[in-house]
Amino acid sequence: REKANLLTYLPHNGVVVLNADDPHVAKMPVPSGRKLIRFGASADCDVYYENATSAWPQMLRFTAVVNGQRQEIRSRLLGTHWAGSILACIAVAHYLGVPLDQIARVIEAVPPYPGRMQVVRLPSGAIVIRDEFKGSQHTITAAFEELRKANAKRKFLVFCDVADSPLSPRTRLKKIGRKAAEIVDYATSSGPRWIIARLITNRRSRNSSASPWYL
């Protein structure tokens, strides 16, 4: 409701850029006379994407479609969930007159935000994917999906508590632990209430000489 109220303050020549993938945002009433630009995964949007892929070591890439024009987008971000955020930038920049090829070059140079699926290589050669910026259910789901798709012979998981879960600490950590057992070799959790949960899964054998993964 608060976001929808912001639209009422737009001048008559204002432009509204809305995320069509968010059902609440998509239903926002746009004041008469304002230009509307919709972005999202659907081809019905003014700006949308096709063929989004991301699986370590490959970072996010996709094809952006803007008013019928196609532009290959390569990024330094890990995770297909970033596609919507990049589309919002593309929609605004294109409206302001920036050519698509120039937009693509800028996006390719943008580094990951610290603590948001940030890839860090340790001196030992191990790869760390930092995603501790916010421990919400939504971000953990996205992080687990990228960990599942990652091309690595061994995967280690270190996770904290979930900030927005209605479940009890023990119940929610058990739930995360069961999910982790499907995709990693070893996982450990430590939360603000000093709850520690450990699990080792032998779901499949792995090469012990591979570099460890941490998330």
For 75-130, what is each residue's pLDDT tens digit?
Answer: 999 999 999 999 999 999 999 999 999 999 999 999 999 999 999 999 998 999 99
* pLDDT tens by residue, 19-59: 999 998 988 889 888 999 999 999 999 999 999 999 999 99
* Whether residues 11 and 88 fall in one domain: yes
* Whether residues 209 and 127 fall in one domain: yes
Range of the domain at 25: 2-109
* Whether residues 185 and 91 fall in one domain: no
pLDDT at 192: 53
Q: In whole angstroms, how far apart are CA 182 and each of 11, 147, 157, 201?
A: 52, 11, 12, 8
> ω before 57 within 30° of 0 (cis)?
yes
Q: The tokens of 141 are what? A: 């789901």
* Whether residues 12 and 96 fall in one domain: yes
pTM of the model: 0.81
* Whether residues 179 and 103 fall in one domain: no
* Whether residues 98 and 197 fall in one domain: no
Residue 207: which residues within 8 A CB-CB, separation 6 or more? 153, 154
